[in-house]
Structure 1
Amino acid sequence: MSTTPAPPPASSPAEAPGGALARSLSHGQMAMIAMGSALGTGLFLGSGAAIGMSGPAVILCFALGSAIAATIALSMGEMSSRYPVRGGFGTLAARFLSPYWGYLTRWLYWFVTICVTGAELVACATYLRYWASGVPLWAGILLFAAIILAINLTSVGSFGVVEFWLSSIKVVAVLVFILIGIFLVVVGLPSSPAPGLTNLTADGGFLPFGIGSVWIAMSVVMFSFGGIELLSITAAEAKDPGAAIRTAARTTIIRLAFFYVLAVGVVVALLPWREASGQGEEVTASPFVLVFDRIGIPGAASLTNVIVLIAALSAANANLYAGSRMLHSLSADAMAPAFLSRLSRRHVPVRGIAVSSAGIVLAAALAFTGVGGVFGYMMALVVFSVLLVWALILVSYLFYRRTRDGRETFRLPGGAATAAAGLIGVLGVFSTIVVVRDLQLAALVGVPAVAIATALYLLVVRHRIDPRRTDAAFAEAEAAEAGTAGRATGQEAGTTPTT
């Protein structure tokens, strides 16, 4: 006789201490969450700054960035499909490097997520001013912040559905933009003759600032790929983590490479590169919107602005999610205050979401005080921090390769050699700090932050770490993966899994 569990008493607390995150995300939702974070402002708004640095050669920048991002995503995919642990790549770094590196990786990435959340909301507010120029930037930031907070405070299943559709809208929109753009480049309109490839070689040629400009522009371009790490973080809330990560890793990186290279190529083919870049001024509109503004297709520019706004909102939404989950994993492993591990009755880390809203507060405060270039400053902070995180992910993978047990069902093509090449690429981009002023300013914040985090680790956290917590997380992840694999095997054999 089946029984229905009784509902919790009315007096039950709204939050439960600790507890496990709910495994509610499907394959498609995981892929779209990663796309939601990565396919955002870096392409739609930040590409203007990259074009200003390198001209039409920005196409090469995005191609190189796609190759580096693919290495990171696929190495993460191999590790996380084998060990879908809470805390993702941070917990993996703790196991394969040391507890300190796991601690630092997770705190660095949390810092990345709060800065990206703030930067994406700045972009949303910037897009809003395309229609309502009188709306203060800080007011737009707070408006869109309320929306993503409401989405994140629901269950993870509801979050996954909303993010899936937000990301789907922008994926379809970018694909349509590419197709229309190619038509305009090759065929044109009566009011706008086809430019062909002339804009790629005019006004200084394909490399107006020389080959070194490609290297310098990478400091901006790599911001666009921040978010691929979510593939690892969502593993702890996936219904079928191993298979989901394998699918998401492959599809995400293919889509990103295709969208970024072709979309940016269309922009610089249709617009003179100085116009697409904003001519060195602070970016106030997306180059994608400028394309349709210049061509004069009725309503197309406004529709494109809606799409890029949705893209930024989706990315902000995904990064607030990532930050709250990273804080939850840090707290569960005694690397952050214990109260952050508490979950709501819907298995949502509400307190982690509240603390991870710091980026929203920072962005609104900077905008309110009238500081110019808010988006540029926050983008530089993200690039500085995410490059360190990516380097640690690839180093973790190199050490992971020494311990592989042959049970992997997904592998990085080329293995350690590919990871080493990716690491060289990351370090090459990081070296632009010697010439890029915004990255130098970011280092003035980032280096002291790392020093403070290290001091806290040595004085406080190191004495609280229990290696058994990491062991338990790995055991739980392996059990989850074994369980889903067992169910899949049973279904393939035509049996009904027992409950």
Structure 2
Amino acid sequence: MTTQTSSSDERADGQLARSLGHGQMAMIAMGSALGTGLFLGSGEAIALAGPAVIITFAIGSLIAATIALSMGEMASRHPVRGGFGTLAARYLSPFWGYLSRWLYWIVTVGVTGAELVACAAYLSYWAPGVPLWAGILLFAAVIVGINLASVGSFGTVEFALSSVKVIAVAVFIVVGAFLVFVGLPSQPAPGLALLTADGGFAPMGWAPVWVALSIVMFSFGGIELLSITAAEAKDPARSIRTAARTTVVRLAFFYVACISIVLCLVPWRQAAGTGEDVATSPFVMVFDRVGIPGGAHVTNLLVLIAALSAANANLYAGSRMLHSLASDGLAPRAVAWTTRSRVPVVGIACSSIGILGAAILAFSGVGGVFGYMMSLVVFSVLMVWTLILLTYISFRRSGTTGATFRMPGGIGTAVVGLVGLAAVFATVAVRPSMQVAAMVGVPAVVLASVLYLAVARHRIEPADIDEAFAEAETMR
């Protein structure tokens, strides 16, 4: 482990604080997963599958559930720093632990930058004169400041941001359901008629339901935080058990219910043609049907909070993942340095590279990259999720006991999840953006593998991994 000098004002022992409650952990995961995937990504998915995209979201929810529950079971037994990456190093091999952590760090860097681009775009709705790059830097200052505070303060802020999103989405579902089944004097209830009114429930056939998974799965990215936050939980066993269950149920219900309501109230071709324009998004259309004054402004505020919360949570995840890599000798040791509040400040700085890249791209005027960034994130996340499920299978086969809860179905459920991920991977054959993502992602994996063989494997100290597990054992 890293040993550095410390002063009365700063700590350099590389240890993280255990300050997160189970409510904060659940909301941090929700904060990452409930982002622009629901508000902006849904239009493209609807364009591909029509009303049948409801089935796509339901399938995506089931796949995501296998990831969250398997991580929850493992993390409740081993609440280690580095989460699923450290578990992969123990139950698969050091190489797979190394690769999964670096891949996920790349994911968090990309998502943080992309979400801040979205924040700046939402800001321009009210202040069109503010350059995109300036908006990115403005919101970057906000989330970096939040992350530099103590983890307890971060958890409190993220809990508040995510709560706003959850409440807003819940209100949307209640109001939308009222419109669908009861209606208003000036607007009769449409019921479920629009789901089959234009070409049937699956107007393009059932194959697009599968293809749309490559878009929908972006919406569930962030559930991995359940594993990463375990190292900073006050009561890991109870917190992880509660957070894993509630996160899966909330996400599945929110996504499926929201998309269903939108498609019951808005003709699917209109909902599919919204693109990234907040003023014409399917969610604004629903609010406008209710007759709420300034419905577009209300929704713009909601999606801005959603994107800001997701960026905040991903910066947190990236810094913690980098901290774990440095602690295990797989990144420069200086990255493991923490402040007096036990915040990995160097990790936060390094994980902000995606923000800088997004600002530079915006300043240079490069456009049309958001969709490809989303596909690259999906490609990398799918690889990480695959390794998580493989780690879980090895975990269960090892006969390890002591987890506070178990995933229903155990290994069988994990295999079903792997089949689902393989189906999403297969969309690379038909989606150009996924092909571009593969052309970037595969070389990145090859490069990481070469670096491991040339440098990283010589730095791996089994004692560091053992120490992480021993430390976690004392905190269970």
1:84-95 equivalence runs, <5 A: 84-95=79-90
Partner secondary structure for residue 170 of structure 2: helix
Q: Deviations over 1:252-292 (max 9, x none)?
A: 1011111110011111111111221226x555554312322
> 1:305 is matched with which residue?
300
Q: What amino acid is the match of 2:302?
A: I
Q: What amino acid is the match of 2:194?
A: N
Structure 1 position 25 matched with structure 2 position 26 = no
CA gap of 1:58–1:23, structure 2 versus 1, over 3 A, is: same
> 1:5 is matched with which residue?
none
Q: Percent identity?
A: 70
Partner secondary structure for residue 168 of structure 1: helix
2:400 to 388, 402, 405: 405
Partner Cα separation in structure 1 for residue 10 and residue 349 of structure 2:
14
1:288-327 equivalence runs, <5 A: 288-293=283-288, 296-327=291-322
Displacement after TM superposition at 1:128 (Å)? 2.0
> 1:485 is matched with which residue?
none
Displacement after TM superposition at 1:376 (Å)? 1.0
1:91-240 equivalence runs, <5 A: 91-240=86-235
1:249-328 equivalence runs, <5 A: 249-278=244-273, 281=275, 286-293=281-288, 296-328=291-323
Partner Cα separation in structure 2 for residue 291 and residue 450 of structure 1:
43
Partner Cα separation in structure 2 for residue 202 and residue 365 of structure 1:
45
- Give ranges in structure 2 of 5+ residues lacking alignment: 1-5
Is 173-182 or 406-415 further displaced after alignment? Answer: 406-415
CA gap of 1:391–1:126, structure 2 versus 1, over 3 A, is: same
Q: What amino acid is the match of 2:266?
A: L
Structure 1 position 358 matched with structure 2 position 353 = yes
Displacement after TM superposition at 1:402 (Å)? 1.3
Is 195-204 or 67-76 further displaced after alignment? Answer: 195-204
Q: What amino acid is the match of 2:457?
A: R
Structure 1 position 333 matched with structure 2 position 328 = yes
Partner Cα separation in structure 1 for residue 95 and residue 327 of structure 2:
15
Partner Cα separation in structure 1 for residue 383 and residue 363 of structure 2:
30
> 1:442 is matched with which residue?
437
Partner Cα separation in structure 1 for residue 185 and residue 453 of structure 2:
68
> 1:8 is matched with which residue?
none
Displacement after TM superposition at 1:28 (Å)? 0.6
1:432 to 406, 421, 427: 427
Displacement after TM superposition at 1:372 (Å)? 2.7
Displacement after TM superposition at 1:303 (Å)? 1.4
TM norm structure 2: 0.95
Aligned length: 470
> 2:451 is matched with which residue?
456
Displacement after TM superposition at 1:384 (Å)? 0.5
Partner Cα separation in structure 1 for residue 41 and residue 122 of structure 2:
13
CA gap of 1:42–1:107, structure 2 versus 1, over 3 A, is: same
Considering only aligned residues, what root-mean-square deviation do their CA atoms show, in Å? 1.6
> 1:62 is matched with which residue?
57
Structure 1 position 34 matched with structure 2 position 35 = no
Partner Cα separation in structure 2 for residue 423 and residue 144 of structure 1:
37
- Give ranges in structure 1 of 5+ residues lacking alignment: 1-10, 482-499
Partner Cα separation in structure 2 for residue 97 and residue 314 of structure 1:
33
Q: Assess if the C-alpha contact under 8 Å between 2:13 and 2:338 holds in 1.
A: yes
Q: Assess if the C-alpha contact under 8 Å between 1:18 and 1:332 holds in 2.
A: no
Displacement after TM superposition at 1:421 (Å)? 0.4
Displacement after TM superposition at 1:364 (Å)? 2.0
Q: What amino acid is the match of 2:42?
A: S
Partner Cα separation in structure 1 for residue 162 and residue 240 of structure 2:
17
Q: What amino acid is the match of 1:41?
A: T
CA gap of 1:400–1:380, structure 2 versus 1, over 3 A, is: same
Displacement after TM superposition at 1:202 (Å)? 2.2
TM norm structure 1: 0.91
Is 442-451 or 94-103 further displaced after alignment? Answer: 442-451
Is 199-208 or 381-390 further displaced after alignment? Answer: 199-208
Partner secondary structure for residue 60 of structure 1: helix
